[in-house]
């Protein structure tokens, strides 16, 4: 599948994925209105980390017991890792095989919102009285964090490789294997969003319920709503 196919394509008859190809973004067409509505809802919820005051978070963190500090940081580190994965997944995995213009617009916006989430996690860490750069450096050497994310990373990597083989016209490319990896990646994305993120969000909300880290919890609530 090419980046821009130099031929006429009737997008009213094209599938969402693995169609003829892509060219002009035919957003003038009234096809797949449910995707357009979902995109508009997501766009209407746009927010930025700078909308929130994180000054109290530094005070709260400084007064925590050491074990709570460790729990809070490790939870943030996990959120940052899997959100980095989510940001790339929708753009680098799903865009190359998307042939519906409305779906393509949705992925682009989805990827942008995920990048806002990554910025939010970074801002929370930087608001704390710690060396933020050193803290981020520990993420990729933490076996527990890696173990939690490994399964999702593997299915995403498989689709990424299949996309590369398709684009390069690799002789070993198999469309059925590609479609199978696509379905697994979609399941992986749903597991990431609805299980892994939800459990980590509950940890963040628990701190706020106990009178700590309310500012970051408000940001997490926005991420959760997205």
Sign of CA dihedral 219, 75, 91, 192: negative
Round to the nearest angstrom and report the end-to-end CA distance of the chain: 30
**86 occurs within a structural domain:** yes
Q: What whole-number distance in Å separates Cα of residue 84 and Cα of residue 121?
A: 10
DSSP at 98:
B
**29 occurs within a structural domain:** no
**125 occurs within a structural domain:** yes
DSSP at 20:
S
Sign of CA dihedral 167, 171, 172, 174: positive
Tell me the pTM. Answer: 0.87
> Reduced to 3 states, what is the DSSP secondary structure of residue 52?
coil
**103 occurs within a structural domain:** yes
Percentage, residues of the chain above pLDDT 70: 97
Of 91, 111, 222, 114, nearest to 163 (Cα)? 91
**142 occurs within a structural domain:** yes
Supply the pLDDT for residue 190. Answer: 86
* pLDDT tens for each residue of 68-119: 999 999 888 888 888 887 777 788 899 999 999 999 999 999 999 989 998 9
Q: What whole-number distance in Å separates Cα of residue 11 and Cα of residue 70?
A: 52
Which residues constitute the domain of residue 58? 53-225
Q: How many domains does the chain have?
A: 1
**93 occurs within a structural domain:** yes
CATH number where 182 lies: 1.10.620.20
Q: Is the pLDDT of residue 7 over 80?
A: yes
* pLDDT tens for each residue of 149-164: 777 788 889 999 999 9
**133 occurs within a structural domain:** yes
**38 occurs within a structural domain:** no
Q: Which pLDDT band holds residue 23 (cuts at 50, 70, 90)? A: confident
């Amino acid at each position: 599948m090419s980046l821009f196919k130099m031929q006429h394509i009737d997008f009213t008859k094209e599938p969402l994925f693995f169609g003829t190809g892509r060219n002009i973004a035919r957003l003038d067409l009234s096809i797949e209105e449910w995707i357009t509505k979902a995109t508009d809802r997501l766009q209407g919820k746009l927010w930025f980390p700078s909308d929130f005051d994180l000054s109290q978070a530094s005070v709260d963190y400084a007064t925590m017991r050491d074990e709570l500090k460790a729990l809070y940081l490790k939870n943030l580190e996990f959120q940052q890792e899997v959100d980095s994965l989510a940001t790339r997944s929708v753009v680098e995995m799903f865009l190359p095989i998307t042939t519906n213009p409305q779906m393509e617009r949705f992925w682009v916006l989805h990827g942008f919102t995920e990048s806002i989430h990554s910025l939010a996690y970074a801002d929370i860490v930087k608001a704390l009285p710690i060396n933020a750069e050193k803290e981020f450096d520990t993420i990729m050497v933490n076996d527990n964090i890696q173990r939690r994310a490994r399964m999702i990373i593997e299915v995403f990597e498989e689709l990424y490789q299949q996309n590369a083989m398709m684009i390069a016209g690799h002789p070993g490319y198999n469309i059925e294997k590609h479609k199978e990896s696509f379905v697994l990646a979609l399941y992986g994305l749903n597991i990431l969003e609805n299980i892994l993120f939800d459990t980590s969000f509950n940890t963040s909300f628990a701190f706020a319920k106990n009178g700590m880290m309310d500012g970051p919890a408000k940001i997490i609530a926005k991420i959760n709503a997205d």
